[in-house]
A and B are shown apart, each in its own frame.
Chain A
Amino acid sequence: MRNDDKLIRISNDPKFVELVSRRGRFAWILSIIMLVAYYGFILLIAFDPSFLGTPVSDGSITTFGIPVGMAIIFLSFILTGIYVVRANNEFDELNKEIVEEYSK
């Protein structure tokens, strides 16, 4: 049970509370950006398909749909990258401090 008591004490530690709120907020913001981008794209297709079929410039074959679609693929990768860099450095640093403090 000692390990369990330690977990309860950590849950009240201000550092832990800070880690949870910072990482949580960051994760939700990125999730919302991703969801808005994807569902915005889907709803655009459903309600105004002609926009994505408009050529990017006069006389071009490429339509807006191509760069917009590609942008969502890149956005997925970029957002995961941003999260991983911050979580694996800043947040894990903070996490390590907490774990070490309580492993004494």
Chain B
Amino acid sequence: MAERNVHRISAGVLILTLAAGVAALQATSASVLAVIVGAAAISVAQLVSVPAPSGARLHLGIAVAAAVPLLAPDAADTIAVLAFGMAGSLVVTWLLPSARSAGSARFLSDLLAVVAYASVYYVMVDLVTLDPEANPALFDWWQLFALGAGGVAWYAVRAFLQSLVGLEREDLSARYLWLLGLEDWSAVVSLFIAGALFGLAWPTMRMWAVPMAAMPYAFSHLAFVRYNGTRVTYGQMIRALGQIPEVAGLAAPGHATRTADLAVAMARELGLHPDDVVELEYAALMHDVGRITLNEPAILRAGYTDEDIARWGAQIIAESPYLTHVAELVRAQHQPYRRAGQERDLSVPMASKIIKVASAYDQAEHEMGLRPIDAIEQVHRGSAYDYDPEVAASLRRVLTHRGVLV
């Protein structure tokens, strides 16, 4: 239902876009061929998506769009190229069955971001009247500056539109999505630089501008691909290490993975910073790693507390200099969120409180065999000191969204 609405809206916007393109074409001084080539380049580039460090994907259209105002004689040409290019990309996604469902929503948000970009660019360029003939170097510098400002606008609008999804979705906070949208600035800069280099160099260097603009991006692309690959295997490795106590029979099977899954969902719902969510995931996956110490018979005989498990786990994790903060989160997981006479103990990190709640809920459900409604009741009962009510409320929302609770 919602999807059909999006398709309808985008069809309407498509007509408006085409109308704007045709109107701009009336005023254009460039050849129709140049407009067609530019528009076709944008349409094709919009189909190509590349990885960004956060794991999201960016579409290459913006790199072409960055070059357009540098190459077009005036604003009307830019509008014509961008309008036909974006319209073309929508039509192509409609024709491709695999891209159809997401295509319309993407078209709407990309179009808004591109409009923001072009508007800011031309407002900036028109702020100062420079004669390109008299002082070409200064004019170029100013154009680049305007391009940078336009790029910032594009970037902010894109992240803002992404965060709007959070208003619709119960399990994702808008803040989390907004911050997630801002993660990929290095990839965005690489794309804009490629477009700008091409736009500046094409008039003099012609075909040589292509490798010069493409190569730096290609190097970054290689780094992003490898970064993402390593990020995935790093996560897998931490997941495997976190499961060692389980295969050794010292912790309940699957507990670490389920706790991490729940904790990450709660963190997103509560709107933690995406970087903190990654650390929280690692901490949750390894929160019971201290249990591996229990294969020492002397320790089993002497007895241990939850605090010991947390401390031993933190000691193991802290051996890696890159995970000192994760170790802190694991160490703090046994702490109560408040003590008598306090509103909240602010020294306990949010992530630790989330892990504590997620782990307790999972234990109640899977180890005590309680129904979800009873398991969450356990958590609510412990809200005097152990489980932060704010976090417990988030757990309830996440479980409701998943259909576990009605």
Physical interaction between A and B: no
Chain B residues engaging chain A, CB cutoff 8 angstroms: none
Chain A residues engaging chain B, CB cutoff 8 angstroms: none
